[in-house]
Structure 1
């Protein structure tokens, strides 16, 4: 980790990284506190699940449109404006909770606004690293950005969110409002993000939204490597989320874990992600992209086979740690490849197609996992995922051979 922080990434990157760190803490806090707040108002399972779905739905509705606006507008100003809007929405919710007038419809509306803002801010912010970090240093920069999610969002913030909710139900949302305000100030201080493309800077030069979305989709579909990675990720999310939609039942009934054991098992994902953050830059330098991506597909297959076969929690946890390492290394590699190959003027649209495939696959998987398990048993989704990923690995093996992050010789 010291080597990562020692990289000469520049002041603008560290402002971006700090902004990402504070928002990841805030998001993780709200991820826990939101369902707790709904559950304190109603025992309706649909309402509790709706608190999560309300924040996911905008990705399915607006991801592709957000990509267009991220390419049309000044990206730095867009992220600042969205973060101020999210801070205001959360502050409103915090005041409503403190005043005792919060309702389920209000909570769902606020969470829908947060998710809508996320589609815009995350899509626009994806273009920051290639704008402010030189290409040789991007694996380190991307690893540090992944560290914020793995360590702060997935590990540290969640117990903090539960504790703050116990202190006072309004506090987690007030804290998250502050994190978005701080992030907006930090992003506003970044100087090195380029302006929007001159070809889309005036209203008279802009084609319609549909035409711009189609342009981004066509560009991605014509790039063999990135197309392969996007489709692979989409299928991987379908089968992974199908298998892990019933993971709490799997942990209890197959592994014999109680609630504490289940929570401890989930930490394995964060532990693997943290190790992947430390290892990714060195692995990329040593092995390059193609072998790491191919190995990652084999690890995906091995995860599902292991979980389908084992009844030992330690074996499951060990495999999940390995999988967590893989997901971070895979993410750093794919993000760095995309930053290198996608033209800056199209970065928002291409990124939005990735996000749409990612979250669309996750939604389909989450819906289908319970149905498969109900019909065929708890291990059926894991066997189905193993078979699907084996087929994906076979189909992607040849296209992935062209993946490289080594400098291309001039001439």
Structure 2
């Protein structure tokens, strides 16, 4: 799909190696400093909280500046934060409060990286290629972030607390070099003009467009609700794996590896699924499996059973993530990709912040399996409510203006009235 896409893909895969290493190492580092479920969950909460604080601003900035450079600068900020953490660890001065502060600063930089990076693909490939393009990016996420990274992170953490984070620094720096090799620099259409409206006005335009676009609005709402239920047990997964299932640090890393193995199976199957099964059916099946996954984790007490469940989770989670991203990118105009993507990500991480905060309190009060029961009940109720609207999401098409561009903020009312349900 082109030279620039290959550089984007290489940068994404490299960055995900480092993130995957930290995926196992960061919770292990926090768990080595405290046994409190609330503090353990706080590490993830503070990493994702910046989405609530800065997510919408990151989207507006991505829609008015060079998105590739924004990825590079924000990744550089991530590297600086990681280097500081390594210095604290090497000198023996690190404590739980320093680690939590690092989680927040790192998460802040990641907001700008992920927002800008999510807008690049629609500017590099044709709409018909978005599905396979997202599948290849997701495959890199699975292989690097969840398959190879976590066990490597757990292994390096056992050798020394600073080693996994030093490797992550190298990965982030290499990712900057790779994305800089893109020959074409995707620039939003409105960034080519001298018009500069206030950031809050840009944010409001993006929110209005999304609110008056029922399919995209419902998709964001579904993601928000299911992330609340998903994140409740995930925030204390490290304690669930090491204490309840008695799997140890390596076993905890193996859980995310099992998830990635399922995702790899989905990668090989996605092309066939896209051709033979409707998106609406796939989305309903994925959300139904999410409900069953929570129930299975609540009932199991054996590590190998948890690994099997994780393989299934990885399969349907990959399919869901690829479909939902593709549908959103096809419906959103290029000049609003940053803002709408940021609202979606605020929903994703906002749900995770709420869910993980709830999960920490629930686990401390009622035990480590209680968050799974909460997630099972909440996901089941949500599935009943969104079952029918899913058809309207996947059958919607972008509405074109007289000039041939997708309707944006000023055309929302007309767009909503004329929204087509044709496949």
Shorter-chain TM band: 0.7 to 0.9
For 1:236, which of 226, 239, 245 is the aligned residue?
226
Judging changes above 3 Å, is the alpha-carbon distance between structure 1 residues 217 and 38 closer, same or farther for their aligned structure 2 residues?
Answer: same
1:123 maps onto 2:112 in alignment: no
User: What SS is found at the alignment partner of 1:213?
Assistant: helix
Residue in structure 2 matched with residue 68 of structure 1 by the alignment: 60
Matches within 5 A, 1:368-387: 368-373=358-363, 380-387=370-377
Distance 1:250 1:170 in 2: 24
Tell me, yes or no, if structure 1 residue 182 matches structure 2 residue 174.
yes
Structure 2 CA distance, aligned partners of 1:31 and 1:376?
26
Of 233, 246, 258, 1:268 maps to: 258
Deviations 1:234-269 (A, max 9, x none): 111111222344545656787x54436555445432
Picking from 272, 284, 299, the partner of 1:282 is 272
Distance in structure 1 (CA, Å) of the matches to 2:382 and 2:351: 14
1:342–1:322 Cα change, 3 Å: same
Q: 1:115-194 alignment to 2 at 5 Å?
A: 115-165=107-157, 167=159, 169-194=161-186
Aligned counterpart, 2:51: 59
CA distance in 2, matches of 1:172, 1:391: 40
* Equivalence for 1:84: 76
Report how far residue 24 of structure 1 moved: 0.9
**Structure 2 residues not aligned, in runs of 5+:** 399-419
Conserved 8 A contact 2:49-2:353: no
Identify the residue that residue 19 of structure 1 maps to in structure 2: 11
Gaps of 5+ in 1: 1-8
Show CA shifts across 1:344-387 (max 9, x none): 11111111111111111111111222444566666554444333
Instruction: Please tell me whether the aligned partners of residues 93 and 102 of structure 1 are also in contact (alpha carbons under 8 angstroms).
Output: no
Structure 2 CA distance for partners of 1:210 and 1:269, relative to 1, 3 Å: same
Distance (Å, rounded) in 1 between the aligned partners of 2:298 and 2:316: 19
Query: In 2, distance between residues paired with 1:220 and 1:64?
Result: 13
Per the alignment, do residues 310 and 173 of structure 1 end up closer, same or farther by CA in structure 2, a change over 3 Å counting?
Answer: closer
* Gap change, CA 1:320 and 1:102, over 3 Å in 2: same
Q: TM-score scaled to structure 2, two decimals?
A: 0.82
> In 1, are the aligned partners of 2:20 and 2:144 still within 8 Å (CA)?
yes
Moved more, 348-357 or 384-393: 384-393
CA displacement 1:257-283 (0-9 Å, x = unmatched): 443655544543222222222222221
Contact 2:28 2:238 in 1 (8 A): no
Contact 1:16–1:190 under 8 Å retained in 2: yes
Q: Contact 1:132/1:193 (CA < 8 Å) preserved in 2? A: no
Q: 1:261-319 deviations in whole A, cap 9, x for unaligned?
A: 55544543222222222222221121131111111121122223333455565555434
Task: Output the TM-score relative to the length of structure 1.
Answer: 0.84
Q: Which of 392, 415, 420 is the matching residue for 1:402? A: 392
Give the direction of change, closer, same or farther, for the CA distance of 1:398–1:152 in structure 2 (3 Å limit). same
Deviation at 1:171, TM superposition (A): 3.9
| Superposition pairs of residues 32-51 of structure 1, within 5 angstroms | 32-34=24-26, 51=43
Cα displacement (A) at 1:166: 5.0
Total equivalences in the alignment: 397
Which residue of structure 2 lines up, in the alignment, with residue 358 of structure 1?
348
CA contact (8 A) 2:224 2:350 kept: yes
**CA pair 18-252 structure 1, distance change in 2 beyond 3 A:** closer
* SS of corresponding position for 1:73: coil
Q: CA RMSD in A?
A: 3.3
Partner Cα distance (1:164, 1:307) in 2: 28
